Amino acid sequence: MSEYVLTAIDTAQIQSYVFGSNRLKENIGASELVELATHQWVYAALPPQHNVADAATGELDDRLTIHSLEAEVLYAGGGNTVILFSTLELAREFTGRLTRRVLKEAPGLELVVAHRCFDWERDALAEVVGQTLGVDLARKKQNRNSSMPLLGLSVTRPCSSTRMVASQIVEGRPVSREIYAKVDGRLQGQARLESVTSRVKQGKWRIPPDFDDLGRFKGDEGDIAVVHADGNGMGKRVAAIAARHRTPGQNRDYIAAIRTFSRCLGAAATTALRKVVDLMADALLADADLADRHRRNFPLRPIVFGGDDVTFVCHGRYGLSLAVCYLEAFEEATQTDPAFDHKPAHACAGVAVVKAHYPFARAYRLSEQLCRSAKQMLVEQNIEGSALDWHVAMSGITGSLGEIRAREYTVQSGCLHMRPVLLRGSASVPWRTWPVFKAILDTLVEEQGAWSGRRNKVKALREALRGGKDAVVEFLHMFQLEALPKADPANVVGYEKTGWVGNRCVYFDAIEMMDLFADLPQIAASGDVEAEHAAL
């Protein structure tokens, strides 16, 4: 028998489902339900004869193939789960079991499933997968019926989170079935969380369940950073694997290649996230006073993880340090991996720094826009590398990221911001880099330095930068300065006399982040309490 069925599973409206609440517990629970619905529940719904060796971890037995099974999971990653079934009837029965469970245990989550029949001897599996994901699933997403929930026919009480009909009381609040499932889902995901946060348990810290506990400590106003990171060009890498397996005779080789890539990508992202957790733990261990001010709360919480698409929240001052740590660790974890052709994979990150009670869905959307902004810079400059972008939102956000920057960061001389910045410099972008930004920031906050404690001078420089190059020259004369702080990594000249390179300002970003940045690697390495105080 050579006729089989390819089944692909995806989710719809995932951002609003996971990030639509202002309660961290519900965001975490929603993320866990998505993980269950696209992994563990999938394995549980398979017919008896399949290739899943461990349903808890998703480990596959590569020795078992569809030729002797009822179902073979090809891979689960990148937001999709792809399975081979021996018959269409088995595929449909599986779909029924899975969707019934999702409706019952994860109300509000929308799954999209597509089936495509093919001939193993005549059709290239890589092409079948591409058509199922790119055509069939896309069409089903576009043409699916919109959910029309029944809102209540008599006297009802609304859910405090969704405004739908409440069916339960949780922690004294009326909640809908969807929110009740999310709160329960948070508890189910404890083991997966501990797999990347083992240092937290060793340090006997508490992972806080609320944004307030992440963003506040003694004497602090309460800022959080939403960090969203995503791998660059992963779709192109998948397409390249498919292009190398264009014939039916290569179907089994294609399965091995795409499965290996999916495994290695997930492992690299998980390793990078562990490095982020380790950096935060090292900083707390190096500075007992810092740990005490967090009241034994660990100021970092992963929300979405397991693939190259990662989202975590942390105290606002740690967002940039942890985002850079993730990008560096992701590159390091992939640079010698054969699945990535022995070349490091790259990623981009967006960091939105907001108040703890800021609408979380907006903060997440902003972090996504910032991540896309960093990716767009790489495309425009034709650069292979990693980049990050950030934004500080101390009040309400009106408009898109582009509109905000046109309104708040554009003056007659050009752009006040250097963002996005590359993780490392390149020939085409020699100075808009993280090392240049960091070097300038270090000079501004350096203890006993020329700028330390000189708030009036810093404020005057900020206003001079808004006025352009001539205003900066006047500022230098007024304060009897030879030049502004110089960043050694910057491969350009003259900016220390004018504050600008072309139509972009060099110093404005560093001034804005002076009170909103803590150098976690420095704290972890030195354990210098006084230096940490200056950073905070």
Q: What is the pTM of this model?
A: 0.89
Q: How far is CA 308 from the centre of its chain?
A: 8
Q: If you classify domain 3-143 with CATH, what class do you get? A: alpha beta
Residue 529 confidence (pLDDT)? 41
* Contact predicate 505/496, CB 8 Å: no
Helices (H) and strands (E) in the chain, counts: 23, 18
Residue 202 confidence (pLDDT)? 81
Residue 219 confidence (pLDDT)? 56
| Cβ contacts of 500 within 8 Å, gap of 6 or more | 413, 414, 465, 468, 469, 472, 506
CATH number attached to the domain at 194-231+261-397: 3.30.70.270
Q: What are phi and psi of 387, to 5 degrees?
A: -150, 160
Residue 211 confidence (pLDDT)? 79
As a whole number of Å, the CA-based R_g of the chain is 25
Q: Which residue has the tokens 């940490």?
A: 532
* Contact predicate 160/175, CB 8 Å: yes
Residue 163 confidence (pLDDT)? 65
Residue 200 confidence (pLDDT)? 86
Residue 187 confidence (pLDDT)? 61
Domain 3-143 shares a fold with domain 194-231+261-397: yes
**Where does residue 526 rank: exposed (0-12), middle (13-18), buried (19+ CB within 10 A)?**
middle
Instruction: Please list the pLDDT of the chain residue by residue as tens digits (536 residues).
Output: 589 999 999 998 888 888 887 888 888 888 888 988 999 999 999 999 999 999 888 899 999 999 999 999 999 887 789 999 999 999 999 999 999 999 998 888 999 999 999 999 999 999 999 999 999 998 888 877 666 665 665 657 777 676 677 777 777 778 777 776 776 666 666 667 777 888 888 888 888 877 777 756 655 667 899 999 999 999 899 999 999 999 999 999 999 999 999 999 999 999 999 999 999 999 999 988 888 888 888 999 999 888 889 999 999 999 999 999 999 999 999 988 888 877 889 999 999 999 888 888 889 999 999 999 999 999 999 999 999 999 998 766 667 888 889 999 999 999 999 999 999 888 778 899 999 999 999 988 886 677 777 778 888 999 999 999 999 999 999 988 888 988 877 778 889 999 999 999 999 999 999 989 999 999 999 764 444 444 44
Q: Parallel, antiparallel, or unpaired: how do β-strands 500-501 and 80-85 relate?
A: unpaired
Q: Where are the domains of the chain?
A: 3-143, 194-231+261-397, 409-536
